[in-house]
Amino acid sequence: MSDTPKTDFIREIIAADLASGKHATTITRFPPEPNGYLHIGHAKAICLNFGIARENAASGARCHLRFDDTNPAKEETEYVESIKSDVKWLGFDWGENLFFASDYFEFFYECAVALINKGLAYVDRQTAEQIKETRGNLTVPGKESPYRDTPPEENLDLFTRMRAGEFKEGEAVLRAKIDMASPNMNLRDPVIYRIMHAHHHNTGDAWCIYPMYDYAHPLEDAVEKITHSLCTLEFEIHRPLYDWVIEHCPVPAKPRQIEFARLNLTYTVMSKRKLLQLVKEGLVEGWDDPRMPTLSGLRRRGYPAAAIRHFCQRIGITKYNGTTDVALLEFDVRDHLNTVVPRRMAVLDPLKLVIENWPAGESEEVEIDNHPKDPAMGTRTLKLSREVWIERDDFQEEPEKKYFRLGPGRYVRLRGGYIVHCTGFNKDAEGRITEVHCEYLPGTKGADAPEGVKCKAAIHWVSVEHGVDAEVRLYDRLFTEADPDDAEGGFVTVINPDSLTKVRAYVEPELAGVEPEFSCQFERLGYFVADQKDHRPGVHLVFNRTVALRDSWK
Ligand code: ATP
Ligand code: MG
């Protein structure tokens, strides 16, 4: 499974720019705002930007990790740290190229002064409501502000006083002077600076005016000499403003913005605002809850970084918005794990099976392969004894049609060991089966069933004497609806009540010693991972279901 990308329209543009000599090298950037954890949608942007840099390494290409931290109100250092660790986990490295947009505040300010001096920006003292009301709409042009023609010297004085903290929030803004009648609303004298008396995680209280995204972003790209600024389609309509800022400000480079379709997934909400709501309202157990589409959640769920990269490569880069079936991601995870992780046995819904003709207190070693198709993974030795746990649904009192497992008088093989013959069972007062009885057939270990014995299935088991207790967390999709964003009562009303089920299970002894994040297949059940946070080897075992063996949502 490779994650070398096919080409796409962006990679074609980049190759052409190198070939024509327009650029000697390629510089991309991934510019998260540190106001939440990264999600699988960001993985698409990371794989694209860092991927392009890696593919063009020969010409000195690089990708910057830039924190777009221009809004003091929503940002926290916890997010900065989580973003760095997630990008690394996904397999990418920014090297020396770690930047913070807030380091450019002085440059943004100088550019604003340059715009004012050219008569291209003015301080507007109207209220926020007045500015909103005079913007017009798609059919009605906007109305020019009475402050629009203030001379540059006066604007400069006002802007200096804005910076000095002489105004309260909302008393003044700086606007670009472009075109109040433009059919593109973004060009109707957009606000480029506002006053916020807020503490910033990087610059502290040095500033009380903060630049708007549409103004700051092109300048950040230009300072870093980004050649191709890749963003999602909703910014297409902002591109004329991006280009206007680049054209009129004293910038050291002229980056080009190119848009691509964002990733949307079925049964998933992707916006950080909504993910934050899930966390804040306690609907999940944190940003890294294994049901979250965050990279830290997916990691805790047991999704391998390589499977996520492969998924991003497979969906490709296009200009068309759509929604990708989450089953495709799950398929890649299963497909990847299938080849790389070993098999183990665990019983999640235990029912005791007593082998009546097996001497009490004795056990026998059986050797089991760790992977059915990969002999290099070797074998392990397990102890079989008189009492074993089997799955409750591997026994039926009155077997239905096509049920080939255990039932009265039936035969089944204990995986890697003997064929057993069911001789009876016990029930409690409520009619629930408490114990199943059987006899093993000597000579059937590693050998075919004898003449006249019909044995069509092998079931997994864990020795009662040797197995160990574990908590197993069965995760499922977080929402019951394919498009939770469209739910009538909002996405929180379609949370899947069965998205997490905790069970007490028995697992084979070797699993007692595995470290957090150890991944394996529990035979016949699915892929599981030792929980990154709560699993403590030898003390308290916790396994998360990464994905079931088959898609049960079809
Ligand atoms: P959200 O809408 O979830 O808050 P955002 O776009 O506000 O995301 P940023 O931190 O600003 O988040 O995004 C960093 C980069 O990741 C941007 O270049 C953005 O275009 C890209 N990105 C965000 N979401 C997706 C997505 N679903 N698919 C592809 N790229 C995305
Ligand atoms: Mg955002």
**In the listed set 407, 428, 463, which residue is the last one of a domain according to the structure?**
463
pTM for this entry: 0.95
Rounded to an integer, the average pLDDT of 110-128 is 98
Residue 553 — pLDDT band, cuts 50, 70, 90?
A: confident
Question: Does residue 422 belong to any structural domain of this protein?
Answer: yes
For 135-192, write each residue's pLDDT tens digit: 999 999 999 999 999 999 999 999 999 999 999 999 999 999 999 999 999 999 999 9
Note the pLDDT of residue 5. Answer: 64
Asked if residue 535 belongs to a domain, the reply is yes
Whether residues 63 and 131 fall in one domain? no
432-467: per-residue pLDDT in tens? 999 999 999 999 999 999 999 999 999 999 999 999
- Domain co-membership, 257 together with 293: yes
pLDDT at res. 77: 86
Give percent of the chain with pLDDT exceeding 90.
97
Q: Please report whether residue 349 resides in a domain.
A: yes
pLDDT given for residue 49 in this prediction: 98
Closest approach atom of ligand 1 to CA 263 = 28
Q: Whose CA is nearest to atom 18 of ligand 1?
A: 231
How would residue 73 be classed by pLDDT, with cut points 50, 70 and 90? Answer: confident
Rounded CA-CA distance 394/404 in Å is 9
Same domain, 22 and 84: yes
Going by alpha carbons, the residue nearest to atom 14 of ligand 1 is 32
Are 504 and 293 spatial neighbours (Cβ–Cβ below 8 Å)?
no
- Domain of 424, CATH number, reads 2.40.240.10
Radius of gyration of the chain (CA): 31
Rounded to an integer, what distance in angstroms lies between the CA atom of residue 235 and that of residue 300?
32
| One domain for residues 428 and 522 | no
Domain boundary among 191, 212, 233: 212
**What is the number of domains present in the chain?**
4
pLDDT tens digits, 85-117: 999 999 999 999 999 999 999 999 999 999 999
Contact 546, 303 (CB under 8 A): yes
- Asked if residue 119 and residue 100 are part of one domain, the reply reads no
CATH number at 190 reads 3.90.800.10
Same domain, 201 and 130: yes
pLDDT of residue 250: 98
| Euclidean distance between CA atoms 360 and 376, whole angstroms | 36
**In a shared domain, residues 234 and 312:** yes
Query: Tokens standing for 494?
Result: 């379609």
Mean pLDDT of the chain: 96
Q: What is the predicted pLDDT for the residue at 515? A: 98
Tell me: do 295 and 429 sit in the same domain.
Answer: no
In a domain, 49, yes or no: yes
* Structural domain for 129, as ranges: 113-212
| CATH code of 266's domain | 3.40.50.620
pLDDT band at 4 (very low <50, low <70, confident <90, very high): low
Mutate to test the pocket of ligand 1, among 42, 83, 226, 231 (most ligand atoms within 8 A of CB): 42
Nearest ligand to residue 221 Cα: 1
Ligand 1 atom 13: the closest Cα is on which residue? Answer: 32
Whether 135 and 199 map to the same domain: the answer is yes
Please tell me the distance from the alpha carbon of residue 300 to that of residue 292, in angstroms, as a whole number.
Answer: 10
265: nearest Cα among 323, 182, 216, 203: 323
Domain boundary pick from 269, 300, 330:
330
Residue 336 within a domain:
no
- 139 is a domain residue: yes
pLDDT tens digit sequence for 273-284: 999 999 999 999
Is residue 116 packed enough to be buried (19+ CB in 10 Å), middle (13-18) or exposed (0-12)? Answer: buried
Instruction: Give the pLDDT confidence score for residue 343 in this predicted structure.
Output: 98
Task: Supply the DSSP string of 32-54, one letter for each residue.
Answer: --SSS--BHHHHHHHHHHHHHHH
- Distance (Å, whole) CA 79 – CA 84: 9
Q: Catalytic residue positions?
A: 33, 262, 272
Considering the domain architecture, whether residues 171 and 281 belong to the same structural domain is answered as: no
Indicate which atom in ligand 1 lies nearest the CA of residue 230: 18
Is the residue at 142 inside a domain? yes
Pocket (CB within 6 angstroms of ligand 1): 31-33, 41-42, 44-45, 231-232, 262-263, 270-272
Query: Is 335 a domain residue?
Result: no
Does residue 136 share a domain with residue 86? no
Say whether both 350 and 499 belong to one domain.
no
Nearest CA among 508, 504, 514 for reference residue 539: 514
Ligand minimally distant from the alpha carbon of residue 232:
1
For residues 255 and 6, give the distance between their C-alpha atoms in angstroms, rounded to a whole number.
24
Tell me the CA–centroid distance for residue 272 and ligand 2, in Å. 8
Atom of ligand 1 nearest to the CA of 31: 14
Give 42 Cα–ligand 1 centroid separation in angstroms: 6
